[in-house]
Amino acid sequence: MGIFNKIFKSKPKQIKVIPLNNALSFFEQMLGEKEKQSLQDIEELRKSLPDSIATFSKSLNILEQAKVEEERAKGSQLAKDSYVKKSLKLIENINPEDYTDIEKVSNLLNLLVNLTPRQAIHMDFFFKEEMMQISKDLKKIKITLDSINNLKTSGVIKHKNSLNKLLNDEIKIESSLISYDKKIQELEKNKQEWVAEIKSKTEKLTLLEMDGMNEIKKDLIEMKKEKEHIQQRIDNSFGPAERFLKKFLYSIETTPDGCAITDDQKAILRMYTETSSHIAFSQDEDLVIKPLIQQSLEYARNDPEIFDAKRAEKVEILINEIGELAKDRKNLEQLAKDVQRKENEIQDIWIPKQKHKKSLNKEIDDLAINIDSIEREIIDIKQDIEIKKKKIPLIKEEISNLLTASTGIDVEVEE
């Protein structure tokens, strides 16, 4: 078998490899003459159209002059006259220089052959000879148009058009790949700038968190707690005396011969019975309430219905220690000032900083959204790039097959 293999072994297939950029020039080199001949044939056919239309116009004139006197031909005469009038009008609507325009002549032909079956029967019966010439003229125009169309849509011209389309498709893909590459670079640059901006804004946020404002807020909370504690201590100290003070005030206001006190004392007494003790105490700088508490205690001792020994004991402690409570009052006044100062500081400094922080956080969120959008856009572009890159080998294969089919030479196109 080995010897027969050597004898009958077919020669290796010869493949002509050409660069993609030379595909068109290779085609023109191999088929340029055929293309030139086809174009000449098309041009000659195109130039023959005006003569064919002129011949048809003459035939229309002859048909127009044709007459049939028979009564039964009246309908046919009307159909013929209508067709001639319409056809001449259609021809007149086209400029003579457009008689070589393939598209316009094709449209004209379609309108000229547009006869109803009834019109065709009428005209063919009484004007058979003239209609035969009309049909012959129209057929000639149709054959010319069909020949032009066949030359354009088959053979070397078709292959040339297909090759140009494939090459243009490849150029568009290459151009889009370059545009995509530039777009990705631009997006990556924007992304890096926004990432850097997020980093900068995050650092600013960190500094805002480390500016001691938390300590100020913590101090304020402690001050308020201490203030509330002192207020509660004052209220608790005056608590046992409240019942005695109310009864004492009631007695003064309702008994004509009750204990005589000044209007200022009465106002102080009323303040202590109608508001919180720590509020009244803070306004009683001269401790006007002290003798009034003593008087209310003496009043209670004389009224078994309101007297309570344990309560009285606590009231006596209040009378003895009210001077110490005055120190708490001073501390309370100072705390109130300190609290107001801290609140003003927060109002003037912390709140604007909080607004700044909120603004920075929103800006960071917006930048993060933009970065996410860019990343998704880059992914979409890269996917499109992969799709287009896969098309390039297919286009090269189509061009290779087209050149092989049109030239009869095995061709392989490469970059």
pLDDT in tens, 61-94: 998 888 877 777 777 788 878 888 998 899 888 8
The pLDDT score that the predictor gives to residue 7 is 41
Q: Please check whether residue 16 is in contact with residue 411, taking contact to mean a CB–CB distance below 8 angstroms.
A: yes
Q: Looking at the predicted structure, is the pLDDT value of residue 212 above 80?
A: no
Average pLDDT over residues 246-261: 77
Strand partners for 18: 413
Domain contains 398: no
For residue 146, name the pLDDT band (cuts at 50, 70, 90): very high
Domain contains 406: no
Of the listed ranges 142-146, 196-200, 237-241, the least confidently predicted one is 237-241
The pLDDT score that the predictor gives to residue 153 is 82
- CA distances to 152, 234, 413 from 338, rounded to whole Å, are 98, 19, 89
Residues 350 and 218 in one domain: yes
- The residue among 154, 173, 196 that closes a domain is 154
The pLDDT score that the predictor gives to residue 6 is 45
Residues 149 and 277 in one domain: no
The per-residue pLDDT for range 339-361, each reduced to its tens digit, is 888 777 777 766 777 788 888 88
Average pLDDT over residues 92-99: 84
User: How far from the centroid of its chain's Cα atoms is residue 379's Cα?
Assistant: 16
Residues 149 and 249 in one domain: no
The pLDDT score that the predictor gives to residue 258 is 57
Q: Please check whether residue 278 is in contact with residue 332, taking contact to mean a CB–CB distance below 8 angstroms.
A: yes
Structural domain range at position 112: 27-154
168 burial level (CB within 10 Å; 0-12, 13-18, 19+): exposed
Residue reference for tokens 């009958």: 8
The pLDDT score that the predictor gives to residue 235 is 85
The pLDDT score that the predictor gives to residue 187 is 93
Of the listed ranges 201-205, 236-240, 256-260, 330-334, the least confidently predicted one is 256-260
Residues 298 and 217 in one domain: yes
The pLDDT score that the predictor gives to residue 40 is 92
The pLDDT score that the predictor gives to residue 2 is 44
> How much of the chain, in percent, has pLDDT values that exceed 90?
25
Which range, 73-77, 208-212, 341-345, 406-410, is most confident?
A: 406-410
The per-residue pLDDT for range 280-327, each reduced to its tens digit, is 888 888 888 888 888 888 888 888 888 888 888 888 888 888 888 888
Residues 220 and 339 in one domain: yes
For residue 13, name the pLDDT band (cuts at 50, 70, 90): low
Residue of 169 and 257 predicted with greater confidence = 169
Q: Looking at the predicted structure, is the pLDDT value of residue 264 above 60?
A: yes
Query: 131: Cβ–Cβ under 8 A, 6 or more apart, which residues?
Result: 63, 123, 124
Q: Looking at the predicted structure, is the pLDDT value of residue 364 above 60?
A: yes
Other residues' Cβ atoms within 10 Å of the Cβ of residue 244: 25
User: How far from the centroid of its chain's Cα atoms is residue 283's Cα?
Assistant: 65
The pLDDT score that the predictor gives to residue 340 is 84
Q: Looking at the predicted structure, is the pLDDT value of residue 330 above 50?
A: yes
Residues 234 and 141 in one domain: no
Query: 200: Cβ–Cβ under 8 A, 6 or more apart, which residues?
Result: none
Which region holds residue 116: left if phi is over 0, alpha if psi is between -120 and 50, else beta? beta
- The residue among 136, 154, 172 that closes a domain is 154
Residues 218 and 131 in one domain: no
Q: Looking at the predicted structure, is the pLDDT value of residue 272 above 80?
A: yes
The pLDDT score that the predictor gives to residue 213 is 65
Residues 60 and 148 in one domain: yes
Domain contains 118: yes
Residue of 193 and 307 predicted with greater confidence = 193
Domain tally, the chain: 2
Q: Mean pLDDT score of the chain, rounded to an integer?
A: 85
Domain contains 3: no
Q: Looking at the predicted structure, is the pLDDT value of residue 5 above 50?
A: no
Domain contains 198: no
Residues 241 and 143 in one domain: no
- The residue among 135, 154, 173 that closes a domain is 154
The C-alpha atoms of residue 11 and residue 190 are separated, in whole angstroms, by 60
* Runs of H (alpha helix) within 113-240: 117-126, 128-153, 155-209, 213-238
> How much of the chain, in percent, has pLDDT values that exceed 70?
93
Residues 120 and 235 in one domain: no
The pLDDT score that the predictor gives to residue 274 is 87
Average pLDDT over residues 370-378: 94
The pLDDT score that the predictor gives to residue 257 is 60
Residues 240 and 141 in one domain: no
Domain contains 377: yes
Residue of 33 and 7 predicted with greater confidence = 33
Domain contains 401: no
Residues 223 and 110 in one domain: no
The pLDDT score that the predictor gives to residue 336 is 84
Between helix 263-274 and helix 289-301 the angle, nearest 10°, is 80
Domain contains 185: no
